[in-house]
Amino acid sequence: MQKFKTSFLLWAVFSLLLFLPCWFIPWLGKGDTTFAAMLRCFRAGLPMTDLLFFILVYGVPAVVIGWVVQALVMVCLRRKSENKIVT
């Protein structure tokens, strides 16, 4: 089985590209984005227990999907470079 190199920079970029837009998705029934709701809680001095929940709900899938996408990119790049060497 062939091992492929992990690009942590690509992984971070893809994960951030997936994670950041999630904060601007409107809450169901609230008509407010997650970011706006968290900002309002912060300004009011309320405990931000939901912050950890949303970081886990949005962050974990973003990291996992970001890793898969960067792995696909690294596989494609390696195969492309191997094809150049052979031809």
Q: Mention every residue, 6+ apart, whose C-beta is less than 8 A from residue 6.
A: 67, 70, 71, 74
Residue 15 has pLDDT above 90, yes or no: yes
Cα angle vertex 19, ends 67, 55, to 5°? Answer: 105
Predicted confidence at residue 87, as pLDDT, reads 52
Predicted confidence at residue 1, as pLDDT, reads 64
Predicted confidence at residue 82, as pLDDT, reads 72
pLDDT digits (tens, 9 = 90+) for 30-53: 677 878 878 887 888 877 777 788
Of 31, 18, 27, give the one whose Cα is nearest residue 60.
18
Residue 86 has pLDDT above 60, yes or no: no
pTM value surpassing 0.75: no
Q: How far apart are CA 37 and CA 43, in angstroms?
A: 10
Q: What is the torsion angle, in degrees rounded to the nearest 10, for the CA atoms of residue 26, residue 30, residue 34 and residue 39?
A: 130
Q: How far apart are CA 10 and CA 61, in angstroms?
A: 16
